[in-house]
């Protein structure tokens, strides 16, 4: 999809990958970008960068966990930009630790931001996109964790990212003729994600600082978020469903595919049932 002259909204754009996406959309000729974040000062700083490029930019304090906040974001975006065609549901958080040690609040916080946040964005903007009748695009930030589990200690985060892929998969089947969908599946990116605890609300556990070890890993191995932004723009322009940052993700997909294929072959050695014996409406 062409990005030039389009109205764009990016959540979690005050930092990291979201900022990278916002900058890249501006470079691709976006008409304007709404920079939505729960940290308004950071959103304002990114808007200054966008304006320095000559792109209209508006900061917006938005908590993607709350559907009313995302509705307000959509209203503001249409009011300020005139029209909106591209939404990047990117805000996300992580809490690390052994799987069985996760607290109810760890789970709830990550699901509220990573999953409810993505759903809130898809629903609020998706309804408006359908009503406008013009071509639109939604890019949801998942992770390579959406297609496999490359590391231990992030079980609750992994589950949220599978859900992000699930929504995009289901929505494209339902609405794909009117709205395009992409799923960004980054590998390790050098951002502030390991300090995600800075934004953890008191009612969902207390704020926490990321470990130095995790910081060092991101700095040593992480791709730059500006590069990710360019990959997202290219993915939207070329209308890709999956947008990858690291080719090694192929191993995760192949492992899942092989495991699925081999288990089906073991359990159904005579192959698929003839068509007339399949459940109607099911594959």
Ligand X SMILES: NC(=O)c1ccc[n+]([C@@H]2O[C@H](COP(=O)([O-])OP(=O)(O)OC[C@H]3O[C@@H](n4cnc5c(N)ncnc54)[C@H](O)[C@@H]3O)[C@@H](O)[C@H]2O)c1
What phi and psi, each to the nearest 5 degrees, are found at residue 89? -80, 95
**Closest CB to ligand X among residues 33, 38:** 38
Instruction: Return all residues near 150 (Cβ < 8 A) that are at least 6 apart.
Output: 144, 252
Out of 63, 77, 106, 167, name the contact with ligand X by CB under 6 A.
Answer: 63
Residues 151-210 that bind ligand X (CB under 6 A): 186, 188-189, 191-193, 196, 199
Query: How far apart (Å, rounded) are the C-alpha atoms in residues 21 and 12?
Result: 10
3-class SS string, 163-207: HHHHHHHHHHHHHCCCEEEEEEECCCECCCHHHHHHHCCCECECC
Say whether residue 37 binds ligand X (CB under 6 A). yes
**Closest CB to ligand X among residues 86, 189:** 189
Sign of CA dihedral 260, 263, 265, 271: negative
Choose the binding region for ligand X from 1-9, 14-22, 120-128, 250-258 (rule: CB under 6 A).
Answer: 14-22
**Closest CB to ligand X among residues 85, 192:** 192
Say whether residue 90 binds ligand X (CB under 6 A). yes
- Annotated catalytic residue 157: yes
Out of 30, 93, 158, 159, name the contact with ligand X by CB under 6 A.
Answer: 93
Instruction: Return all residues near 248 (Cβ < 8 A) that are at least 6 apart.
Output: 187
Number of residues written out for the chain: 283
Residue nearest to ligand X (CB): 92
| Residue with token string 């990116």 | 189
Task: Return residues touching ligand X (CB under 6 A).
Answer: 11-12, 14-18, 37-39, 42, 62-65, 90-93, 113, 141, 143, 186, 188-189, 191-193, 196, 199, 225
Q: Hey, which residues are catalytic here?
A: 157
């Amino acid at each position: 999809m062409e990005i030039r002259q389009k109205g764009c909204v990016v959540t979690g754009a005050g930092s990291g990958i979201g900022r990278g996406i916002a900058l890249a959309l501006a470079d691709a000729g976006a008409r304007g970008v709404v920079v939505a974040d729960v940290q308004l000062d950071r959103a304002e700083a990114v808007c200054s960068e966008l304006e320095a490029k000559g792109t209209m930019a508006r900061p917006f304090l938005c908590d993607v966990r709350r559907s009313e906040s995302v509705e307000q974001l959509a209203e503001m975006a249409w009011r300020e930009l005139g029209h909106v065609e591209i939404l990047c549901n990117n805000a996300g958080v992580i809490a690390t630790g052994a799987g069985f040690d996760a607290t109810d609040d760890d789970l709830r916080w990550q699901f509220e931001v990573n999953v409810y946040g993505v759903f809130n964005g898809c629903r609020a903007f998706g309804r408006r996109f359908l009503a406008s009748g013009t071509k639109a695009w939604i890019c949801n930030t998942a992770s390579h964790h959406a297609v496999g589990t490359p590391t231990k200690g992030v079980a609750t985060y992994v589950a949220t990212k599978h859900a992000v892929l699930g929504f995009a998969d289901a929505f494209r089947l339902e609405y794909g003729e009117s709205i395009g969908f992409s799923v960004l599946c980054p590998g390790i990116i050098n951002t502030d994600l390991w300090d995600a605890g800075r934004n953890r609300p008191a009612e969902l556990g207390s704020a926490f600082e990321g470990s130095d070890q995790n910081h060092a890993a991101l700095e040593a191995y992480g791709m730059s978020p500006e590069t990710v932004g360019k990959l997202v723009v290219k993915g939207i322009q070329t209308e890709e469903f999956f947008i990858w940052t690291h080719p090694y993700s192929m191993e995760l997909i192949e492992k899942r595919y092989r495991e699925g294929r081999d288990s089906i072959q073991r359990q159904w050695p005579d192959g698929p049932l003839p068509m007339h014996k399949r459940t109607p409406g099911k594959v």
